Copies of this chain bind each other. A is one copy, B any other.
């Protein structure tokens, strides 16, 4: 044993798990190991049996999560030679809602020979979209019966969330539903495997399973109204005991300690969600500073002292991000994906040749060309709805729009217009928060994009009129989880008593930051006004052309 203490965070992503060993004193990331899931995302056929999956399905194998514990944790320990006795805590974060059916002892049905060929016995990954019919019926029923919980989620429950997925099991495989003693988030299931205790976290319960600290779950009558067989789902298959983030779930069992190469009894934190755990890892444990995780999509999180209904959010949860505060979450469905679509489909061969000759990536070339333009110079405005609109319109049937093109319009002008459109979308989210009593004074960006595109960061600062800081870590999930591990261990064991203390010591910002440039802001104010006009015209019912075109497309594809 040494003076220095360590915590381990394990970030369970979509394709792999990432373990990071962190110095508790200052948050230094000492060692990292990424272990890919052997079965990855299962969206065509079941491993082993080859049973075909319908479109929109996305499954995972719970064994892949255990392998991360068995491979990645020992690997980081080995890499840096840290004594397991100096690892005081372990935290995990997960994609969500990623859920599975298990027996009463936590054994996934998928592990049992009699169930393993049934797709409903496997883990339904967050992006499993086949429960849309159930989501639609749930939303209609809730609206009809006047349940107000919809207001907490921007008016709609997503097909990605817990109850639509659970209901799909009941609808399509009642025998699996019947056989499942528990329906549980992957995050909580992993903590159960580590500690031997089923302790469910407030983050997934709140954001994905319609739970609130004040009201708990919707009443049994609601679930009964959905399907009489589901009336007791919470009491039969879930739990009303929900634990706060940063709490200690328990100590590592002998078995789990053996897998991980850690000491039995090492503190394990209540599980968390990848996005939400990144907030304290980006130094934010107080109101007023919005964290945006910028990657293929944008996830916006901000803390508030009071409860406010903010229209079009993904959700808000009392203590959903840090204890003692309301956690508000909003989102944009299409950000990095947008630029990837553009470079794959709309960049001419001449640009590809130029990038090759100059030894830069096509994104770098586009960024350079787009950076030489002034705001407003392209004459273009886009609506960033290539993948629908999450906040604040909550409408997957909206589509992309570009206006202002001429025969002189260049690819880099369209590229810049797409970046600007996502920035306008973020500004609408910020203004909606502020109009509803949740202040946003500063932005802290994290995720993959801030590293890769300085132009984008400056445009976000100029459009939103707010300074943008960049989180110090590029492994926000794992660092945040390690921080929660240190809090689960507690100050007495060399950790911290609160996540705010942990953030102060372990999280940091980069030196670089982006300040709004006032002349750019002035032009963007005009362009934003145009964006809002188009946003409201196409998004709020004045002209539902996007939905009609999408409906017509669906009809034609179905009939052909």
Q: B-contacting residues of A (Cβ < 8 Å)?
A: 334, 337-338, 341, 344-349, 351-353, 374-381, 386-387, 399-407, 409-411, 523, 526-527, 530, 533-534, 537-538, 543, 545-546, 548-550, 552-553, 555-557, 560
Contacts and interface: CB of A to CB of B under 8 A. Distances in A.
A339 to B, nearest CB: 11
Nearest to A559: B374
A553 B407 contact: no
A380 B549 contact: yes
Nearest to A353: B349
Contact of A411 (B345, B400, B526, B556): B345
A523 B346 contact: no
B345 A345 contact: no
A523 B556 contact: yes
Interface centre among A351, A402, A557 (most CB of B within 10 A): A402
Contacts of A560: 374, 377
A500 B527 CA distance: 56
Nearest to A347: B348
A128 to B, nearest CB: 18
A403 B407 contact: no
B552 A523 contact: yes
A410 B545 contact: no
Given A401-B403, A543-B533, A344 B348 contact: yes
A549 B401 CA distance: 15
B347 A349 contact: yes
Given A348-B345, A349-B352, A537-B543, A407 B549 contact: no
A285 B86 CA distance: 97
A53 to B, nearest CB: 19
A553 B527 CA distance: 11
B379 A406 contact: no
Contact of A334 (B381, B407, B523): B407
A379 B411 contact: no
Number of copies: 2
Which one of A352, A400, A526, A538 has the greatest number of beta carbons of chain B within 10 Å?
A400
A531 to B, nearest CB: 9
Nearest to A401: B403
A401 B399 contact: no
Contacts of A352: 348-349
12 contacts: A345-B409, A345-B411, A348-B352, A349-B353, A376-B552, A376-B555, A379-B552, A386-B406, A399-B406, A400-B405, A403-B546, A533-B545
A337 B407 contact: yes
Contacts of A375: 556
Given A381-B549, A400-B403, 17 more contacts: A334-B407, A345-B411, A346-B346, A348-B348, A349-B349, A374-B556, A377-B560, A386-B405, A386-B406, A386-B407, A386-B409, A387-B406, A400-B409, A403-B538, A404-B549, A530-B545, A530-B549
Nearest to A403: B401
B407 A377 contact: no
Nearest to A412: B345
A403 B399 contact: yes
Contacts of A353: 349
A538 B534 CA distance: 11
B348 A379 contact: no
A400 B553 CA distance: 22
Contacts of A376: 549, 552-553, 555-556
B403 A549 contact: yes
Contacts of A546: 403-404
Most buried by B among A337, A411, A545: A545
A374 B554 CA distance: 12
Contacts of A557: 377
The 5 closest A-B pairs by CB, nearest first: A400-B405, A379-B553, A349-B349, A349-B352, A379-B549
Contacts of A538: 403
Contacts of A530: 545, 548-549
A546 to B, nearest CB: 6
Contacts of A537: 537, 543
A351 B545 CA distance: 30
A334 B560 CA distance: 33
Contacts of A345: 348, 409-411
* Interface hub of A334, A349, A543 (most chain B Cβ within 10 A): A349
A198 to B, nearest CB: 38
A402 B417 CA distance: 13
Nearest to A344: B348
A381 B543 CA distance: 14
A411 B411 CA distance: 13
A262 to B, nearest CB: 42
A257 to B, nearest CB: 44
Contacts of A344: 348
